[in-house]
Structure formats: structure tokens, C-alpha cells
Amino acid sequence: MIPSASGTHMTPDPSSTPIPDQRQHSKHIHDFYKLYGWLKPGTQIPDSDLPSAIRKIQRVLKEPVTGKFSDRMMSIMTGPRCGTEQPYNQTDAETPLEHHARYVLWGPKWAKTTVTWKFLSYSNDVSTAVQQATVSNAFAQWTRLVPLNIVPAATNAQADINIRFTSLGRDDTRYGYTTMVSDGTSLSSGNINVTFNDDYVWSDDRLFNFTAVHEFGHALGLSHSAVESAVMFAYFEGNIRPLHPDDKMGVHSIYGWRDPRWTRIDATPSTQNILQITSSSNTISPNDGLYQLRSTGQILRYTTNTWTTVDNNPDTVQITGASGTLYQRHKDGSTYRWTGRASAWDYIGAASTSVTDIVAGGNTLYARRADGWITVYTNTGTTWRTIDQPSAPLSRQIAITDSKTLWNLLSSGAVVRSFYPYDNDDGEWVVVDDNPTNIAIAVGGDEFYKLQTDGTLVWLNLEGYYWETIEVAGCVGVYAVGGLVYSRHGDGTVWRYTGTPMVWEMVDGRGGIGGVVGDRRGGVWEMLGRGEVWGLVE
């Protein structure tokens, strides 16, 4: 695959580049299908089926589903990519993308716990020592997650994985590819070959490392992911990024987890709840991080393996936060915003016994009142604006998306929604679901989820606008952040959604978990019923 500082690639004279036409579009579509195992060997997509094929690709790219080849598709498909074609996978080829939007497994895996590698040839762009160090680092990004050791082969010994640089042609857009041989169950030692295109310039170690991490994912048994921000996505659009939670879930599903999986970071019985503030996946705020509120009113932040007090007021009864901002509510209903400096807080909401709950989302703050109405902070002084409320039962819970869509679960179980700026023109409340079995709601990014009394977890498909059940295994609590969703079961175990309905990854099977929070990059923290706080080691 590829990375952020685009490598120097020798390109032909622009005048010799053919004008894009339907034949070129068809080639790109066929290449995409081969990279994802959607094309039967020896077959072609008929011209009449190309619009349908384009629509499937557009769903992967989160593009408007038009069936017409777009400029963005052309930009992606003419850019650098991985050359590892996947064997035909009938399930993936025939399953709608919204039912399977995650990592894909090749099938075979390494049947041993120590795997070796060696170079068959090197690039002339950097020293052999740098190349060996880069490869070791790339393998380490995978092995820190799973109980697998990957080490250089002994001198003159056969290696399990061979690495080489070779010319693929000056016009070839493939950064590299991996060839796989197996007996159907186990990967074949000495027959796993990772090839880097020597017509690219590899002096940028970031490019080299990113490409190596992608290709080594193949060498461990991963196919291409349909998650565009995953390292295992087949195309490179210019951003070097760390392993995505989807990449991690994929390799965990093959090899399990490296121990210890969890580490205890606090053991204070007075811990009342924990909060993770996380900005968008592309932006990190100085105040992002893990916080806890103790029953004494003390608020602490976890940084550099240490808890630091950011306030210690016995009147504090609640904390909330989003988009890099932390808020607290006092017993008298007054509200405060942390400045990020020691115990310095801005007073933003007057005391009011009608305020029962504050919820942050979409870079602002909302309050639920005892009379069931919702108010939103105007970001000016102590001024709040009341959002017109439907003449319906009281609000039970609210949740706000990244784009500030306000979701409201009413005491009747009905779910209503209002678009920002919540006025009578565009933001009138609309009943989205009138179901008395609804007991909780959650949002991650702009996605919406609801939990029902029977433990069923349901996702709202905003593209087709229909409800889809994603879990029926006894969920009693749901937490979502970004594109990640966590389900806490009645036995206290915690599960993470893979993106495929009914397929979940067990994150913690110890039981007794009282609450779970996470960030958009896959970090997870839990609170046990006795006040202990634990963090996922990876």
C-alpha cells in the first residue's frame, strides 16, 4: 500500500497520457474489484453492469451513489495503490456493502508463534541498515497487538517471509504487492513474498514504513479492508496514518490478543464515573483525554500515566465533554467550562434547579430540564437558548452528532430528531421512531443507535433510511464514538462492533464492567463496579 509524503514516481510525459474514457473507467473498476475479491477469475463486468459496480465502489468511498464514474474515483484509482489481488470471495462479492463494511480475512494464518523474514534484494535509495530497521518497526506495529514474534532469519537460513525490491515499470501505480501460498489453512514458509516497486523512491522512511505495514498485514493473513481510513485499504490518498481499529480487529480475529490485554490505572473506590473527550480523528485538542469524577467532587485527568487534579469542588455532581472541551455541573444546576489551566473554570450557566443533566456534543453544550425541555448554550456569557419542544412526554436522554443533529429519547420510548440550528424552518422535531421498547440511544460521528428492552441493538442506516439490527446478544449499555460502537452485556463483558451486523469482537471477557468509554482511534477504558479504572494496553 502507500503513505503521506507521496514518493517520487517517474511519470510519463503528460502528452502521452490517454484521455480517460469508458474503457479506462472500466479498467479501474475491474482493478478495484480484483483488489477486493469481488470478481470471479476469468470473468469481466458487462458494460451494462458497470453502473451497479460503480455504485458499490461509491458506497465504499462514502461518495454520493450515482452510478457514474466521478472525478474523485478517478483521482483515487489513478493514484498509488497496493497490487495484491484477492481471491474471489463470493460472500463479499454478493453481500451489500452496508452489511459488510470492515476488514476481510485471507483465510490461512501462521501456524507457529515465531515467524522469520529476510531481504532478497534492497533498494539503492537508503542504506541496508535503515531498510532493516524500517521493516522491523513495521512488523512491530502488528506484533504488539498479537501473540506472534516476527524476527530476522538467521544468516543463510530460509525465511518464512521474503522481501525484495524490483522494477514493476515506470508507469505502474503499484507501490508493492504480496504473493501468498498456503495449504488452505496455514501460510507456507518461504513462499510469502513481499515486493516493493523499485521505480519509486524510498528515501522517505514514512512512505516505506506505511507501505511495509500494509503489505505485512497481507503476509499475516489480512485482505483489503473496505474502511477507507484503515491501513489495509487498497488505495493511498496521501495521508500516512496509524493502524485503524479496523486493522486491529482484523489481526485480533486471526491471532487473538497479546497479554496483558488490560492494565489497571486507578483503584479508588470513590470513582463515580469516567469520561473520554475526543476530537475528530484528524484533529487532536490539548484537552482531549480521559477524566474521572469522584464522589467527593474531585475531577482528575489522566496524562503520562498520572492522574492530575483539574478541580476539587464538593458541589460538582456531573462532568461531560466533547471536541476538546470539558464541562461540569454543580448541585445547584450552575454550569462551568474548563479553560485548560489548572483549576480555572469559566462560569457559563446560572444556578437552576430545573437543570437535571448536561450533555456535550458537536462542539457545544446542551442541558435537559426537569420540565423535559432542552436548552443549548450560545457560547456567549451565560446565555442559553430554549429549543422548541414537541408536546410530548418528557425527555429521557439526548445525544448530539458531530454535525449537531440533536436526538431525543422521550420517556414514552419515542425517538425524535432536530437538525441544527433547531429552528422552525429546518430544525423542527420529527418523530423518527415511536417504539415503547426503546430505553437508550447513542451516537458516534453522525451515526445513530438505539437499545431496546430485550437487549437488541439497532442502527439507523442513513443512506437507505431504515433500521437494522446489529446485535441481539443481551446488550444492557451502548457507547459510541466516531465510527466505533461498544456493547456492554448483562454479564459485564464488553464487545466492539466490527461493522458487520451480528459480528462483534470481545474486548473484555472478565465481567463486572460497570462502564466503558473510548476515543476515535480505538483506545478503550473501563470502570469496574468497585471503582477501578482499566485501560486497553494496545
Residues 421-431 have a mean pLDDT of: 79
What pLDDT shows up at residue 19? 44
What pLDDT shows up at residue 100? 57
C-beta neighbour count of 197 within 10 angstroms? 24
For residue 281, give every residue at least 6 positions away whose Cβ sits within 8 Å of its Cβ, in sequence order, or none: 229, 482, 520, 521
Segments of the chain assigned to CATH 2.130.10.30:
262-536
Q: Is 215 a catalytic residue?
A: yes
Q: Which helix (H) or strand (E) holds 174?
A: strand 174-179
d(C-alpha 99, C-alpha 89), whole Å: 15
Binding-site residues for Zn(2+): 82, 172, 214, 218, 224, 232
Q: Which helix (H) or strand (E) holds 206?
A: helix 205-219
> What pLDDT band is residue 17 in, cutting at 50, 70 and 90?
very low
What pLDDT shows up at residue 284? 81
User: Which class does domain 114-255 fall in?
Assistant: alpha beta
Residues 163-181 have a mean pLDDT of: 91
pLDDT tens digits for 343-388?
899 999 999 999 999 999 988 999 999 888 899 999 999 999 998 7
For residue 298, give every residue at least 6 positions away whose Cβ sits within 8 Å of its Cβ, in sequence order, or none: 309, 311, 312, 316
What pLDDT shows up at residue 373? 87
pLDDT of 14 above 70: no
Q: For the stretch 103-118, what's the b/e string if a residue is b when 16 or more beta carbons lie within 10 angstroms of its beta carbon?
A: bbebebbbeeeebbbb
> What pLDDT band is residue 10 in, cutting at 50, 70 and 90?
very low
Binding-site residues for Ca(2+): 125, 160, 176, 198
- Is residue 480 within 8 Å of residue 495, measured between CB atoms? no
What pLDDT shows up at residue 187? 87
Lowest mean pLDDT among 182-186, 261-265, 308-312: 182-186
What pLDDT shows up at residue 219? 96
For residue 535, CA distances in Å to 151, 305, 429, 515, 538 come to 28, 11, 39, 12, 9
pLDDT of 281 above 80: no
More confident call, 60 vs 2: 60
d(C-alpha 263, C-alpha 131), whole Å: 34
Lowest mean pLDDT among 121-125, 182-186, 210-214, 491-495: 182-186
Annotated catalytic residue within 85, 98, 215, 526? 215
Q: Which helix (H) or strand (E) holds 25?
A: helix 22-35
> What pLDDT band is residue 464 in, cutting at 50, 70 and 90?
confident
What pLDDT shows up at residue 136? 98
pLDDT of 151 above 60: yes
Lowest mean pLDDT among 33-37, 345-349, 428-432, 447-451: 428-432
State the residue for C-alpha cell 485503524: 244
Average pLDDT of the chain, as a whole number: 90
Lowest mean pLDDT among 60-64, 392-396, 423-427, 432-436: 423-427
pLDDT of 178 above 80: yes
pLDDT of 13 above 60: no
For residue 417, CA distances in Å to 143, 365, 397, 405, 461 come to 44, 17, 12, 7, 15
pLDDT tens digits for 236-248?
987 888 999 899 9
Burial class (CB in 10 A: 0-12, 13-18, 19+), 30: middle
State the residue for C-alpha cell 503513505: 3
What pLDDT shows up at residue 8? 39
What pLDDT shows up at residue 4? 31
Cell numbers that stand for 84 in this block: 495484491
What pLDDT shows up at residue 23? 85
Segments of the chain assigned to CATH 1.10.101:
21-83
State the residue for C-alpha cell 533498494: 123
> What pLDDT band is residue 472 in, cutting at 50, 70 and 90?
very high
Using alpha carbons only, give the angle 80, 81, 82 rounded to the nearest 5 degrees.
145
User: Which of 5-9, 104-108, 131-135, 340-344 reaches the highest mean pLDDT?
Assistant: 131-135
The pair phi, psi for residue 360, each rounded to 5°, is -95, 145
Which CATH number does the domain 21-83 belong to among 3.30.70, 3.30.60, 1.10.287, 1.10.101? 1.10.101
Binding-site residues: 82, 125, 160, 172, 176, 198, 214, 218, 224, 232
> What pLDDT band is residue 277 in, cutting at 50, 70 and 90?
very high
- Dihedral over Cα of 253, 483, 83, 175: its sign: negative
Contacts of 330-339 with CB under 8 Å at 24 or more apart are 335/365, 335/367, 335/377, 337/365, 338/287, 338/310, 338/311
What pLDDT shows up at residue 183? 63
pLDDT tens digits for 474-483?
999 999 999 9
Q: What percent of the chain has pLDDT over 90?
A: 72
What pLDDT shows up at residue 16? 41
Q: DSSP secondary-structure letter at 182? A: B
What pLDDT shows up at residue 15? 41
> What pLDDT band is residue 46 in, cutting at 50, 70 and 90?
very high
d(C-alpha 276, C-alpha 525), whole Å: 8
Q: From the centroid of its chain, how far is CA 382? A: 36
Segments of the chain assigned to CATH 3.40.390.10:
114-255
For residue 371, CA distances in Å to 273, 367, 396, 420 come to 26, 11, 11, 22
What pLDDT shows up at residue 405? 95
CATH architecture of 262-536: 7 Propeller (2.130)
What pLDDT shows up at residue 87? 85
Cα distance from N-terminal residue to C-terminal residue, the chain: 23
d(C-alpha 363, C-alpha 379), whole Å: 10
